[in-house]
Amino acid sequence: MRGLTPLSKIAIPDPRPIETFEATLFDRKFVFKGLKRLLGAADYDKAGDRLAGLAATSDLEREAARRILSSLTLQHIYNSPLDDGDGDGVVDEVMRVNYDIDLTVFREIASLTVGAAKDAILGGDAAVVKRLGQGVTGVMAAAIAKIMDVHELIYASKKLSCSATARTTVGLPNTLSSRLQPNDPTDDLDAIALLIHTGLSLGAGDALIGVNPAIDTVENTTRLLTHIDAVRRHAGAPTQICVLSHIRTQLACLENGAPVEIMFQSLAGTERTLSEEFDCTIALLDHAYTVMSERGALGRDARQFMYFETGQGSEVTYGKHNGVDMTTAEALCYGLARRYDPFMVNNVTGFIGPETHRTNMEMILSNLQDHFMGKLLGLPMGMAPCYTLHSEITTEGQQVATALLTAAGANYFMDVYLGVDRMLAYFDTSGHDDQTLREIFERTTAPEFAIWAVDRGIFQRDETGALRRGPNWGDPRIFSDGRAFERRCKKLPAAYGWDNAGARPSNDVSRRTRANLALGRESIYAELSEEKLGPITLRRIDTAAATKLEHLNNPELGATLDARALAMLTPEGRDVQILISDGLSAEAIHHNIPRLLPPLLSELSRAKVTVGEPFLARNGRVKLAEAIGNALKPQLVVTLIGERPGGDGMASRSMSAYLAFRVEPEDPARSNKAARYEYTVISNIYQQGTPPEDAAVIIFDKIRQILTHRAAGNRLESMIQKTK
């Protein structure tokens, strides 16, 4: 177990007064006020930094910023910690943790400029580069990445390897592992079992079998952990399992004896995003690390047992980036992750949408930067170059990213069946992609997994001893009898077949997958029609997003009320206010609201819960609930909103309910003192997920729980757990 340095013992300089940096290129003078502005301008052009006003306005301005940044010493950057952006010179906890470096190594390299550090990395051998990384902070790593081109990012990353061991060892030379993600919109156990069997038959899952739960409760997480553990044991696959619930949920499951083998949490590069949006603190992470080291289900068999997900953009999306650009915020995540010697770090840059990464090139460049920065800081980096249908990123751009990242030595990619996540409605790499890249780049799975897979006929050894596809590769039927297989197939949405052509899905399967993807992308631009909602009385209200394009590219506008609309709202004294918005799918509203809203209102009326007349908002985002809540002051705002379309026509009709409880500032029981709203989410409401009639009952029950306990989200679930 790695010792955790108390935060109070981590030395960090006081932030400096804002500096002005100047450079002249071709008789043109460029001025940058502050290190944050300089770092932002030096980076590649990306949507999130443009949105935050941090991107360079021209290629020449970018090169001027890079010239200045190249000339700064690492000591200069060390002496200039980035403050929390409130103007009071305070450094947040995430920044502080980034200063927990090897000071002996830092003193050796402190006099290097950023440009000289880059040259030392490119010119040095692996041992030199690895040692250098022990002495740099996240901000230093970001500065170096910003002045590297594509070949340099790949070349430098290829020198660095970082393996980690649980049941299997990932990150060994000449291996490419896979994180199997068998998500289902309703957490159906049969569908999850079939996706696990399919992934295992493709040689995927040697890094992890991990499910993102549709419902984040202790009961459901325990149910999923128990099921996945049983499926893994039955198959005999040497790997490890995880359910990607909130860290508090997983700790409660571990306390109750559930098989928590790997502890997961999403990280952010600013303390405000980490605490206010992810409901997590460094103290909580420290606690989870200590508990897992003492009581984790893998015991002493695992040298590493923590799993973190990161990805450029969450901080700017929530408007809590502290004036820091996306790449630098991402590097600060890695400085935080390094504290816990993790088994896995999974980068999901591209997951958020066009407000952070609009194009293929933006996504590719960010992934290459992230991979380099993480490896420089000594992390076992897995990569998930991904996209959503409301961006301009495509499958082909994703495939270019994975090829470049494989060349750069990524530890693993995801296995999402046919690249379509049916629960999270985004697009990631598949087991077919993993195997294709293994064969192109001559990589194998983790050695423990390879032995098992050869025994099952999934792989075989050729005359040279090389690992090749075996007779059972891609056939999930080897893990169950015909009757069980057919039953499970009926439970799996957007499954287009198991026929393969070499390491790729067959053409028929590919054509069906891509046609449904095209239909889903088209549905993003459908307009909300009030007539399609039937005879329901609604109050129309406008957001600050006047057009669909503004809505897609700037989340803040969709979370803000139009000034005239806001001026008309006054407190109404209701228990519940319902807000309906198209979000990212008007079709979801058209298909679900007529069947969900009437029975929900009826149940609330019978229970004598007072409800304001529902609002209908075009181009809305989830956080619009807070603007409504602040103006009308109900106890609870229930937002019914169209989610981003998934990989088939039916999934484009998926809606979610976000229940935002308005916490009173003086409430002594709230765990997160900074957050004014606590959220409970009920997702995947559509005919092939949770049917709208059933969802009405679930939402009503959750409303009663929230109003009774006066809490939502993790705090509510903890209260419910204590009463059982």
* Predicted pLDDT of residue 714: 85
Confidence (pLDDT) at 671 = 53
Range 320-340 average pLDDT: 98
> Where is average pLDDT lowest: 120-124, 265-269, 334-338, 676-680?
676-680
Q: Which of 597, 316, 386, 647 is nearest to 493 (CA)?
A: 647
Helix, coil or strand: residue 303? coil
Contacts of 507 (CB under 8 A, 6+ apart): 501
> Which stretch of 63-67, 402-406, 645-649, 661-665 has the lowest confidence by average pLDDT?
645-649
Specify whether 582 is located in the same domain as 488.
no
CA-to-CA distance for 373 and 368, rounded, in angstroms?
A: 9
Spatial CA neighbour of 362 closest among 387, 383, 379, 382: 387
Q: What percentage of the chain has pLDDT greater than the value 90? A: 86
In a domain, 362, yes or no: yes
Torsion of CA 444, 445, 447, 449, to 10 degrees: -140
**What's the average model confidence in pLDDT over 318-346?**
97
Given 483, 517, 551, which residue is the final one in a domain?
517
The per-residue pLDDT for range 475-515, each reduced to its tens digit, is: 999 998 888 898 998 888 777 889 999 999 999 999 999 98
> Is residue 307 domain-resident?
no
For residue 72, pLDDT beyond 90: yes
Quick one: which of 198, 161, 142 has its CA closest to 415?
198
Secondary structure string (H, E, C) spanning 585-600? CHHHHHHHHHHHHHHH
pLDDT of residue 674: 61
Q: Which residues contact 123 (CB under 8 A, 6 or more apart)?
A: none
Whether residues 376 and 430 fall in one domain: yes
Nearest alpha-carbon partner for 264 in 191, 362, 327, 344: 344
Does any domain span residue 303? no
Does residue 14 sit within a domain? Answer: no
Q: Does one domain contain both 439 and 463?
A: yes
Residue 226 has which token pair? 């128990």
Domain annotation covers residue 218: yes
Q: How many CB atoms lie within 10 A of CB 418?
A: 25
Report whether pLDDT(668) > 70: no
Provide CB contacts within 8 A for 118, sequence distance 6+.
Answer: 70, 144, 147, 148, 152
Q: Choose the final residue of a domain: 471, 490, 517.
A: 517
- For residue 402, the enclosing domain spans 159-262+343-517
Q: Are residues 482 and 628 in the same domain?
A: no
pTM for this prediction: 0.91
Count of CB atoms situated within 10 Å of the CB of 133:
24
Same domain, 357 and 476: yes
Neighbours of 250 (CB within 10 A): 27
Does residue 443 surpass a pLDDT of 60?
yes
pLDDT band at 614, cuts 50/70/90? very high
Question: For residues 280 and 555, which has the higher predicted lDDT (pLDDT)?
Answer: 280
Q: Model confidence over 343-384: pLDDT tens digits?
A: 999 999 999 999 999 999 999 999 999 999 999 999 999 999
Average pLDDT over residues 421-440: 94
618 in the same domain as 697:
yes
Residue 673, domain CATH: 3.40.50.11240
* Pair (513, 534) in one structural domain: no
675 has a pLDDT exceeding 80: no
Task: Write the pLDDT tens digit of every residue in 351-361.
Answer: 999 999 999 99
Q: pLDDT for 138-190, tens place per residue?
A: 999 999 999 999 999 999 999 999 999 999 999 999 999 999 999 998 899 99
**Considering its fold, how many domains does the chain have in total?**
2
pLDDT at 121 over 70: yes
Whether pLDDT at 670 is above 60: no
Give the pLDDT band of residue 717 (cuts 50, 70, 90). Answer: confident
pLDDT given at position 648: 66
Q: Could you tell me if 372 and 230 lie in one domain?
A: yes
**Residues 389 and 517 sit within 8 Å (Cβ to Cβ):** yes
542 and 474 fall within a common domain: no
Is residue 47 pLDDT above 60, yes or no? yes
Any domain includes 413: yes
Whether 325 is in a domain gets the answer no
CA distance 415 to 27: 52
User: Do 615 and 680 lie in a common domain?
Assistant: yes
Are 2 and 340 spatial neighbours (Cβ–Cβ below 8 Å)? yes
**Of the ranges 158-162, 400-404, 517-521, which one carries the lowest mean pLDDT score?**
517-521
Nearest to 323 by CA among 665, 51, 693: 51
Domain boundary pick from 461, 487, 517:
517
Distance from C-alpha of 180 to C-alpha of 108, rounded to nearest angstrom: 42
What is the bridge-based pairing of β-strands 164-165 and 169-170?
antiparallel
The DSSP letter of residue 525 is: T
Over residues 87-101, mean pLDDT: 93
Are both 569 and 443 inside the same structural domain?
no
More confident residue, 654 or 433: 433
Task: Decide if 62 is inside a domain.
Answer: no
**Which pLDDT value is given to residue 179?**
98
Per-residue model confidence (pLDDT) at position 5 = 97
Q: What is the CATH number of the domain that holds 454?
A: 3.20.20.70
Residues 506 and 586 in one domain: no
Tell me the one-letter amino acid at 5: T
- Band (pLDDT 50/70/90 cuts) for residue 720 is confident
The answer to whether the CB of 412 falls within 8 A of the CB of 170 is: yes
